[in-house]
Amino acid sequence: MALLFLLLLTSLVLMGDAAQNSDRFEQVFLWLLAFHGLVLVALAVLIIHQFVRLIVQYREGVPGSRLTLRLVAGFMLVAVLPVTVVYYFSFKFLNEGVDSWFDVRVDGALEDALELSRSSLDLRVRQLSRETQEIMIQLEDLSEVLVPLALNDVRAQMGAQELTLVGANNRIIASSTDSPIRRLPAPPGADILLRMSPGQPFTRLEPQADGSLVIRVVAAVGDRRPGGDSRILQGVFPVDPRMSALAVRVQDAFVDYREFAYLRGPIKQGFIFTMSLALALSLMAALWAGLVVARRLVRPVTDLAEGTRLVASGDYSTRLAVGRDDELGFLVRSFNTMTRRLHEAREEAESNRRLLDAERAYLESVLQHLRSGVLALDGSLRLRTANAAACQILECDMCAEYNRFLSEFDEECPLVGQFFDAISDALVRREQEWSREVVVFTRSGRKVLMTRAVWLPDPGNNRGLHAIVFDDMTEFLRAQRDAAWGEVARRLAHEIKNPLTPIQLSAERLARRLGNTLNGTEREMLERATRTIVQQVEAMKTLVNAFRDYAQAPRLALAPLDLNGLLRDVCELYEGDGHVSRVTLDLAPKVPSIRADAGRLRQLLHNLIKNALEAVQGQSDGEVRITTESIADGHGHRVELRVADNGPGIRPDFLERIFEPYITDKPRGTGLGLAVAQKIVEEHGGIIECHNQATGGAVFVIRIPGIPGGDTERVGDEHA
Amino acid sequence: MRGWFGWLLAGLLLLPSSVMAAEIRHADHIWQDDDRLLVRVYLDVVLPDVLVEALANGIEVTLFSEVRLEYARGILGERLVKEREKSVRIRYYALSRHYVVTDPDRQRVELAPTLGDALELLAERLGRVVLDIGRERLRPDVDYTLSARVKLDHAALPLPLQWDARLRGAYVTQLGWYRWPLR
């Protein structure tokens, strides 16, 4: 830009210089004019391009365009106003000032002076004209021989520079000059001869090459001698040097003034053109410079606006170029510092968030793999977290139901409702730390949940968190009870069974020894007493043996076993056994073999079938239905055995503890049959459940792991 | 601003120009001796109004006549052998109300009572140009050509008139070349 301005300035100076020098004007004017024209066009194109771009940006709402436009408008105003004022007054001065140089009176005075000079010279011309005519009359009668002599005398007498007498055909008859070195006189030219009129000499004031004036007089007379031709006398007379100088000076002044007056129009045009060119170039250059400067000024602001927008949209990596050392540069540097710190803070926050996510994922993983149920509730008792164990224990898929109130699960998840009812009082009171045993009831019995909870207040706000951990203690408690009963049975077998045989033997000895010594009544009483003792001892032995069986560690002879075949064998025993009720087999066609002790399983089946038959005893439509089914799920292949009856079912208060020893609702039951059944199932790695059917009666469900690939073909349904 | 200047410039440049009406009617030449070739160019000269007005206001006008002797060299163009320029000045002499024609070559001042006479005188003086060239220098196997033209001496005009001439093109007073073969 500076180079362009320098070029412009130089060219304008050259143009001004050329306007003062004719030779330089001839050489450079057209080039300078073309150069200025090109610069003007280039500037106009640049300015139009910049303006169009600016207006487009303004319409599109590009940041900084509005400010740029205002700055450009300001620059334009600042540039145009003073230049226009200066131009206006310069224009006016040129127009009026140059005209004021010319005065009508000066013009008139010069005209008068010139006229005066002419009049003065005319007097001399008329005098010389008259004298020439007189001389012509004197010479007309002289012969050509005498004429040269007379001509010299006359010339000297009149003070002429040259006298020439010309005859016919423009032939010089005689001539006389005042200087021998002067060239030969020439006869009057054709232009003079044409302008001559009879009786009237031709006169003319002639400037010379040296600036002096001479008066040429040409007169014609006829030769009055017989046969004579007409003659022409031409005289050249010098004008008095002083008068000549004065007249020439007046004429030069007059000509100069006229020339100057004539040239004032072009002078003004030239000045105005140069001034207009300089004005146009200056304005265009100022406008363009204004645009460039405005853009440069606004660019940091635009960059800042763009940077701020990027920061607002979350891009903290924005850095602006600092290209200046002023206040705007300071602002840009401050912005860069701010974004750098924001970026660092964001990186740190992101790092912390990733760390937290990892921690959360780790905790989530730990939670999901915990066998204890874990629930997290917020202060308003909305569910925040639930692990898989919690969903499994409470039999509810809560993991996808976060932000729901726990009380809202009541309908689809009854256990959750019961659980919440049991702990809601402590939750509402926000007890700091508490634990309790919560009992919930399911279709298969009750569950005992050992529950511990902590209230974690959030000091930052009014919201806190209940962390609830619970374990399903049902199996544990059952196992504990089973272990206790096993210990009881072992002690009973040990402490009771040993004295029974001596008691029985002693009673039999008493009956044998004393029976022969006593008479009829006493003997009968002894026999009855000893028989009672023996019977009770036998009964006690049976009881003790049953306890022994329950308490003894199993010695299983495991072998692949076809459960369907075993069922058919066992059920054959109940055919024609005097049972009114029917035992129906509904066996699946393909049931995996199981690894089992056939004897123990036979005992299990007897226990269950006998138990079912007792349940339907007395019913005319009593029926015991035995089904098998193959189950394949995530835990592998299993065989499910169901023994169902259509009896009265099991009392609900018994249902929970049906597999515990000594739990029976039969008048003569030992209460060990189902306990032993459960023990046998568990020895085979299976589970046994019992619940009442909706259609009536109870059903025992046993699931035992099958041998992979050990399917057995169905033979056919059998009915006992 | 730009528009105003554009209109001003266009107006100045598009003003009708008055071209000097000059025509070379005929041209001839004759060897004055073995070293000088006299070229005679017969001209009709009529000055444009603006120059007539300038003359009437005391401004001296100078015209050039150019004569060139050259021969053709095929695609290489013309080869200049000799050229000569001759200038003749004309001005109005207010004291005697005559036009003065000055031929610097001849150191001679001639007067004409009217502009027409002066232009005839001017044409006569411009039309007589002597080329100093030895006849023996010319090769007989080459066809030589003589060219002549007349043009106005812009640089001799006062500067303001030069501005005017350049800006308006009002003084385009250069004729095309008139060519004829050298005998």
pLDDT in tens, B29-50: 999 998 999 999 998 888 888 8
CATH code for position A575:
3.30.565.10
Which residues in chain B are contacts of A114 at CB distance < 8 A? 94-95
**C-beta neighbour count of A480 within 10 angstroms:** 11
In a domain, A249, yes or no: no
In this complex, the residue of B57, B95, B163 whose CB is nearest that of residue A269 is: B163
Q: How far is A284 from chain B (nearest CA, A)?
A: 8
Tell me: do A426 and A546 sit in the same domain. no
In a domain, A326, yes or no: no
**C-beta neighbour count of A367 within 10 angstroms:** 20
Query: Nearest Cα to A377, choosing from A400, A396, A404, A413?
Result: A404
The reply to whether residue A207 touches residue B109, judged by beta carbons under 8 angstroms, is yes
In a domain, A362, yes or no: no
> CA of A247: which chain B residue's CA is closest?
B95
In this complex, the residue of B59, B109, B111 whose CB is nearest that of residue A259 is: B59
> CA of A19: which chain B residue's CA is closest?
B159
DSSP A542: H
- Residue A101 neighbours by CB under 8 Å, 6+ apart: A260, A264
In a domain, A334, yes or no: no
Structure tokens at A595: 């690894």
Q: How far is B100 from chain A (nearest CA, A)?
A: 9
Q: Which of A83, A195, A210, A255 to mutate to test the interface with B (most CBs of B within 10 A)?
A: A255
What 3-state class would DSSP assign to A579? coil
Report how far apart the first and last C-alpha atoms of chain B are (Å, whole number). Answer: 62
The reply to whether residue B58 touches residue A258, judged by beta carbons under 8 angstroms, is yes
The number of C-alpha atoms within 13 Å of A183 and in the hemisphere containing its C-beta is: 3
Size of the A and B interface in Cβ pairs below 8 Å: 109
Return d(Cα A324, Cα A321) in angstroms, integer: 9
CB of B110 closer than 8 Å to CB of B121: yes
Return d(Cα A176, Cα A150) in angstroms, integer: 10
Tell me: do A609 and A500 sit in the same domain. no
Return d(Cα A15, Cα A20) in angstroms, integer: 9
Tell me: do A35 and A69 sit in the same domain. yes
The number of C-alpha atoms within 13 Å of A583 and in the hemisphere containing its C-beta is: 27
Last residue of a domain, one of A551, A580, A611: A551
Amino acid occupying residue B114: T
Longest dimension (CA), chain A: 247
Tell me: do A539 and A572 sit in the same domain. no
B3 touches chain A (CB under 8 A): no
Tell me: do A391 and A462 sit in the same domain. yes
CATH code for position A377:
3.30.450.20
Q: What Cα–Cα distance (Å) separates residue B63 from each residue in A141, B116, B151?
A: 48, 16, 6
Helix%, strand%, coil% for chain A, nearest 5: 55, 20, 25
Higher-confidence position of B52 and A29: B52
Q: What Cα–Cα distance (Å) separates residue A497 from each residue in A308, A336, A489, A493?
A: 95, 95, 11, 5
Beta bridge partners, A203, equal A217
> CA of B157: which chain A residue's CA is closest?
A22
In a domain, A717, yes or no: no
Residues of chain A with pLDDT under 70: 1-5, 7-8, 11-12, 15-30, 180-184, 222-229, 443-445, 459-462, 551-554, 576-581, 633-636, 667-670, 709-720
**C-beta neighbour count of A232 within 10 angstroms:** 24
Tell me: do A484 and A462 sit in the same domain. no
Predicted local confidence at residue A706, as pLDDT: 85
What 3-state class would DSSP assign to A386? strand
Return d(Cα A124, Cα B143) in angstroms, integer: 59
The reply to whether residue A259 touches residue B109, judged by beta carbons under 8 angstroms, is no
In a domain, A194, yes or no: yes
Which residues in chain B are contacts of A262 at CB distance < 8 A? 53-54, 57-59
The reply to whether residue A121 touches residue B108, judged by beta carbons under 8 angstroms, is no
Query: Would the ipTM clear 0.85, i.e. be above it?
Result: no
Predicted local confidence at residue A673, as pLDDT: 82
Which residues in chain A are contacts of B53 at CB distance < 8 A? 262
What 3-state class would DSSP assign to A513? helix
The number of C-alpha atoms within 13 Å of B110 and in the hemisphere containing its C-beta is: 26
Tell me: do A666 and A604 sit in the same domain. yes
CB of A162 closer than 8 Å to CB of A174: no
Q: How far is A312 from chain B (nearest CA, A)?
A: 44
Predicted local confidence at residue B174, as pLDDT: 61
Tell me: do A545 and A567 sit in the same domain. no
B100 touches chain A (CB under 8 A): yes
- Residue B144 neighbours by CB under 8 Å, 6+ apart: B69, B70, B71, B81, B138, B181, B182
Tell me: do A272 and A161 sit in the same domain. no
> CA of A270: which chain B residue's CA is closest?
B163
pLDDT tens track for A130-140: 888 888 877 77
Tell me: do A623 and A665 sit in the same domain. yes
The total of structural domains in chain A comes to 5
- Compute CA A693 distance to the chain's CA centroid, rounded to the nearest angstrom: 64
In a domain, A248, yes or no: no
Domain that holds residue A19: 2-101+259-306
Mean pLDDT, residues B23-28: 87
For A308, phi then psi, to 5°, come to -65, -40
Tell me: do A192 and A62 sit in the same domain. no
Tell me: do A508 and A574 sit in the same domain. no
**C-beta neighbour count of A59 within 10 angstroms:** 9
- Rounded-to-10 torsion of CA B106, B112, B117, B121: 0
Predicted local confidence at residue A667, as pLDDT: 67
Return d(Cα A524, Cα A543) in angstroms, integer: 28
Structure tokens at A39: 């610069």
Three-point CA angle A526, A531, A533, nearest 5°: 95
Query: Nearest Cα to B90, choosing from B50, B148, B47?
Result: B47
In a domain, A359, yes or no: no
Three-point CA angle A621, A625, A628, nearest 5°: 170
Predicted local confidence at residue A694, as pLDDT: 86
Last residue of a domain, one of A421, A450, A472: A472
pLDDT tens track for B63-88: 989 999 999 887 788 889 999 999 99
B75 touches chain A (CB under 8 A): no
What 3-state class would DSSP assign to A628? strand
